[in-house]
Amino acid sequence: MASDSRPQPLTAGSPRVVVAGATGFAGALAAHLLWRHPGFELLAVTGRSQVGRRLDDLYPRYRVPLEIQELDLDRLGEIDAAVVAYPHAAAAPTVGELREHGARVVDLSADFRLGSLSAYEQWYGAHPRPDLMAEAVYGLTELHRSRIAGAAIVANPGCYPTASLLALAPLARAGLIADLVIDAKQGISGAGRVFDETTHLSIAGENIVPYKVAAHRHTPEIEEQLALAAGGEARGADTLAVQFQAHLVPLDEGELVSCYVTPTRTVAGSELRELYADAYAGEPFVEVVEEPPGVREVRETNYCRVFAAADQHTGKIIAFGALDNLWKGTSSQAVQNLNVMFGAPETAGLA
């Protein structure tokens, strides 16, 4: 069993953080990263199951020696921040309770990712706390860093949108996307701990399976953020309709998106290289690479690798993004956002 001591000493007055929903993959990894973080104090890990069990018993490799408890904000006392790792619709009420106690929140669900209430209702149904939507900032750090710094609620992006938007943002900002198809592939950890008919190992092994065909809920998230990157409105009349298709592949974790772009004009390879180099110069966690990336290159890191090429035969642009869906796609990105929110070095606990 793990020792109760942290590997690094906490700084005086470190923000006190709770991970709500620590029994799932994303919450457990967030707890792991925060337990070892030099600038935060992980006060508690909570869950709706496994209460009384230590997290390092449930997830031995993370070695977080805290007992899982029910979320009781009055008993926990003063909390500066929380990572909420609940499913959509279940997260928003807890986010509201945390805000009433003065905590700043990074929410891993989809509850606050969309700026448009009508878009949320179209894809997810009734919103449980629409009154909180105005407080939320979309948490793709590389696109919204300055707003995240002062945010009360940060809506951590979905893993597919993170890879897709980092691969496509330079093109969107330059007004180069006329039409877009995203072919996305992810390991089975993206489905969480509960297996269903699409994630059973007998189907996932030695196979590739498309899922949520023509109905994936990450589609409006990508559309909104590309519209904003291009200088438009989140749900304007000219919002680009994105064709997004996800696939399950026989990996534990990892994600690759291949984006096929019909540009608004002819783009040379040299212009693409300059565009991406300028867009991500100085970004600590986005690597513009010279060859198409693979998921092994970014496994268990907060890095996203991007690459773009111009196809002179078809006139299209092909852009790739590779990341670890549990890390940069979810939990380590949440810690990156916490770093920005509390004025810590952005790479603290991650590099």
Does the pLDDT at position 221 exceed 50?
A: yes
Does the pLDDT at position 48 exceed 80?
A: yes
Query: Is the Cβ–Cβ distance between 172 and 230 less than 8 Å?
Result: yes
Number of residues that make up the chain: 351
CA torsion, ordered 145, 288, 191, 64, to nearest 10 deg? -70
Q: Residue 336's Cα: distance from chain center in Å?
A: 10
* Domains along the chain with CATH numbers: 16-157+330-341 (3.40.50.720), 160-325 (3.30.360.10)
3-state DSSP assignment of residue 89? coil
pLDDT at 215: 82
DSSP annotation string for 170-236: HHHHTT-EEEEEEEEEE-GGGG-SS--TTT-HHHHTT--EEESTT--THHHHHHHHHHHHTTS-TT-
Per-residue tokens: 30:
């967030």
Q: Is residue 159 annotated as part of the catalytic site, yes or no?
A: yes
Is the full-model pTM beyond 0.75?
Answer: yes
Bridge partners of 255? 186, 323
Between residues 200 and 108, the one the model is more confident about: 108
Choice among 82, 159, 267, 323 that is catalytic: 159
Instruction: pLDDT band for 63, please (50, 70, 90 cuts).
Output: very high
3-state DSSP assignment of residue 289? coil
| Exposure on the CB side of residue 43, measured as CA atoms within 13 A | 20
In sequence order, which residues have a C-beta less than 8 Å from that of residue 276 and are 6 or more positions away? 170, 288, 306, 308
Does the pLDDT at position 80 exceed 50?
A: yes
pLDDT at 1: 44
Query: Is the Cβ–Cβ distance between 107 and 95 less than 8 Å?
Result: yes
pLDDT tens digits, one per residue of 141-177: 999 999 999 999 999 999 999 999 999 999 999 999 9
pLDDT at 190: 64
